[in-house]
Amino acid sequence: MTLMRALVLERQHELRLRDIELPTEVGPGEVRIRLHTVGVCGSDVHYYTHGKIGPFVVDAPMVLGHEAAGTVVEIGEGVTNLAVGDRVCMEPGIPDPGSRASRLGMYNVDPAVRFWATPPIHGVLTSFVVHPAAYTFKLPDNVSFAEGAMVEPFAVGMQAATKGGIKPGDTAVVLGAGPIGTMVAIAALAGGCSRVVVADLAQPKLDIAARYQGVIPMNIREKDLVAEVRALTEDWGADVVFECSGSPKAWSSIAELPRPGGTIVVVGLPVEPVAFDIATLSTRELRIESVFRYSHQYDRAIALMGSGRVDLKPLISETFDFEDSIKAFDRAVEARPTDVKLQIRMPQS
Ligand SMILES: [Zn+2]
């Protein structure tokens, strides 16, 4: 353990930049990384404002941050896939490799997973982190650290697109144009959708999503989404519908959106249980899929970004210095509709 300066959530509503004891010893199969850029995620902000997410309660000081890229500065015994100096990004969840979920290939739902900035596990808004090499991914030369720190939220979009079973030429609908909804739309287009209708009430969010070719923005304050999707698909419906708003209201008419045999992918989380039209689900043989974080998506996400097919740079709204991290979080709490992703740049010496 070493004392390192970090952004610490002391308790609900109280952030401090201070020294805290963090592990620095590199074991077999691990690497030590100097952090370069860390994105501010909705979950980090929620711990700050609410002190908990579902069953995860902040009852001891915790370092925030889990969307990270940096440089390998030390490699442990047996590490062959990485070298000192490699520019990398990291998957923030470390499962038990021997668990039943991991052996089934769904390590993201391993109940023993240790995920950065999820109590009681510290996040990475600090100088260095020790991480398994197996969950550390090399960035191509043309992918910046800032983009590397975007791989984590984009991986959620990749997981959703994968679970949606997209086929070339599909039409998709994304409900909610927040950061994750936008990432899902981009992943759905990269996965073969010919067009993605993105629905939201906030025009500034739709304007940002509409910068991506193939996105059809739909302001549902002005337009009837079901009627518009019907009109676009000759009364057939969308092949895949991604629920990314988390709004209980989205569920009242969601079953009207997919085509017969279509798929609904649940990404957003309503706080309360919601009612859902099972009869429509049944008569159309709809399929429902859910998404919890991601598994096996980082290398594919990085490959798409390196190929130039996916450019996430337009989604980085502003970058703060580490010493201004609390400002970055207070800005995130404001939830400006023009902000997609705020990032924090760590000192490099
Ligand atoms: Zn995140």
Q: How far is the CA of 236 from the centre of ligand 1 (A)?
A: 35
Phi-psi domain of 6 (left: phi exceeds 0; alpha: psi -120 through 50; beta: other):
beta
Q: Does the pLDDT of residue 349 top 90, yes or no?
A: no
CB 31 within 8 A of CB 9: no
Find the mean pLDDT for residues 133-147.
Answer: 98
Q: How far is the CA of 163 from the centre of ligand 1 (A)?
A: 19
> Which tens digit of pLDDT belongs to each residue from 292-337?
999 999 999 999 999 999 999 999 999 999 999 999 999 999 999 9
In angstroms, the CA 212 to CA 193 distance is 13
In angstroms, the CA 145 to CA 31 distance is 17
Find the mean pLDDT for residues 30-37.
Answer: 98
| pLDDT at residue number 191 | 98
Q: Does the pLDDT of residue 190 top 90, yes or no?
A: yes
| pLDDT at residue number 169 | 98
* C-beta atoms surrounding 311 within 10 Å: 13
| pLDDT at residue number 94 | 97
Mean pLDDT of the chain: 97
Amino acid in position 313: K
| pLDDT at residue number 328 | 98
Q: How far is the CA of 69 from the centre of ligand 1 (A)?
A: 13
In angstroms, the CA 130 to CA 94 distance is 12
In angstroms, the CA 20 to CA 33 distance is 17
Q: How far is the CA of 7 from the centre of ligand 1 (A)?
A: 16
The band of 184, judged by pLDDT with boundaries at 50, 70 and 90, is: very high
Find the mean pLDDT for residues 23-48.
Answer: 97
Q: How far is the CA of 43 from the centre of ligand 1 (A)?
A: 7
Q: How far is the CA of 67 from the centre of ligand 1 (A)?
A: 6
Q: Does the pLDDT of residue 117 top 90, yes or no?
A: yes
Q: How far is the CA of 293 from the centre of ligand 1 (A)?
A: 9
Report the SS3 class of residue 235.
Answer: coil
In angstroms, the CA 342 to CA 39 distance is 6
Report the SS3 class of residue 254.
Answer: helix
Amino acid in position 154: F
Nearest partner of 131 among 121, 146, 140, 139, judged by Cα:
121
Report the SS3 class of residue 243.
Answer: strand
Q: How far is the CA of 149 from the centre of ligand 1 (A)?
A: 10
Beta bridge partners of 121: 118
pTM: 0.96
* C-beta atoms surrounding 231 within 10 Å: 10
Amino acid in position 310: V
pLDDT above 90 coverage of the chain, percent: 97
> Which tens digit of pLDDT belongs to each residue from 165-177?
999 999 999 999 9
Q: How far is the CA of 87 from the centre of ligand 1 (A)?
A: 20
Find the mean pLDDT for residues 197-208.
Answer: 97
| pLDDT at residue number 271 | 84
CB 342 within 8 A of CB 40: yes
Q: How far is the CA of 68 from the centre of ligand 1 (A)?
A: 9
Q: How far is the CA of 152 from the centre of ligand 1 (A)?
A: 6
| pLDDT at residue number 54 | 85
Q: Which pair of tokens denotes residue 129?
A: 């982190």
Q: How far is the CA of 312 from the centre of ligand 1 (A)?
A: 14
Strands 56-57, 52-53: pairing is antiparallel
In angstroms, the CA 67 to CA 122 distance is 13
| pLDDT at residue number 66 | 98
The band of 204, judged by pLDDT with boundaries at 50, 70 and 90, is: very high
Q: How far is the CA of 155 from the centre of ligand 1 (A)?
A: 9
| Helices and strands, counts by H and E, the chain | 11, 20
Q: How far is the CA of 249 from the centre of ligand 1 (A)?
A: 24
Find the mean pLDDT for residues 45-71.
Answer: 96
DSSP states of 144-202: -HHHHTTHHHHHHHHHHHHHTT--TT-EEEEE--SHHHHHHHHHHHHTT-SEEEEEES-
In angstroms, the CA 39 to CA 36 distance is 10
